[in-house]
Amino acid sequence: MENNESSLTSLISAFGRAYHSKYDTPKIFDDFIAKDFITQKEFSDIRENMIGGIQFFNAQIANEFQNDPEEILKWITQVQLSPTPLARAAYCENVLFHEISQGVEQYVILGAGLDTFCFRYPNLNNSLEIFEVDHPATQNFKKGRLAEANYQIPDNLHFISADFTKNFTVQNLIEEGFNTDKKTLFSLLGVSYYLTKGEIASLIDKLFAKIPSGSSIVFDYADENLFIEKGLSNRVQNMVQLASASGEPMKSCFTYDEIDILLKNLGLLIDEHLSPAAINEKFFRNRTDYLSAFETIHYIHAVKN
């Protein structure tokens, strides 16, 4: 991954969160800090690129709102870009706060990007150790943005620069203060689709090999319809095509039974599973805008025996 690629990916994700925080009601996930990591020019450039790409996503919407670029941006953001990142972040943090009440003292964010959790909850600085794991280029970019936005890095936030799909081990965490005796929650959001099934199993196995029972992981995964489901306005098909065109094709999808067996073989049990229908009911019910749960994407909370 090159610096500009990692920067763009994390910026687009932050753009979606910032847009939702500023413009959408009610909020699914209010990342009121995301805007601080994006310059006005970057926000404007991403906005213009999305509006300019509407023909790819939906020619009918492009024609219907050709004189209303803000409605086009709203449509692309709410239909294609934001539903999964917003809902899975909200779900993960709901689980995290419950797990904190059950004794979790460490939170490991795999593929953290421009995550803002630490800065939205400074009240946890003395009780929760946070470890952000990501590609070195992405982390260098984030550290630069933190400095530019005058955010001080608290003592409980630890950066681990690593490619966690290759040579990453828990030792990488230990070297930055991770304690294998403490109950931990891992998050792996927006990542599993880009790994093979073997890579996913190997990663989870490494993460849970030395940590105590009761530790757990939140992740999202694509179901067996990933490569055949078109979705609302072809958004699932668009997602798969865009990933392939970017050079990071989606590689894995699972039936529920497959993911259940994979986790059981690694000593984990599913505590909670949310299907697309359940996600829609939990996070998108009674909305009057375009936001709705993405077809084929499920959320899992799994706990070590």
Q: Which carries the bigger pLDDT value, residue 71 or residue 5?
A: 71
Same domain, 124 and 32: no
At 40, which helix (H) or strand (E)? helix 40-52
Tokens in use for 292?
């709705």
Model pTM score: 0.96
| Full domain range(s) for residue 150 | 84-304
pLDDT in tens, 100-149: 999 999 999 999 999 999 999 999 999 999 999 999 999 999 999 999 99
| 3 state DSSP class of 176 | coil
The Cβ-side half-sphere exposure at 160, using a 13 Å CA radius, reads 27
What is residue 269's three-state secondary structure?
strand
Residue 101 tokens read as 């009440």
Rounded to the nearest 5 percent, the helix, strand and coil shares of the chain are 50, 15, 35
Phi, psi (deg, nearest 5) at residue 135: -60, 140
CATH of the domain at 280: 3.40.50.150
Count helices and strands in the chain by DSSP H and E runs: 13, 7
Same domain, 116 and 200: yes
Domain final residue, candidates 81, 101, 124: 81
Asked whether 154 and 122 are in contact (CB, 8 A), the reply is yes
Q: What is the pLDDT of residue 5?
A: 65
Distances (CA, A) of 199 to 68, 107, 252: 44, 21, 10
Same domain, 89 and 75: no
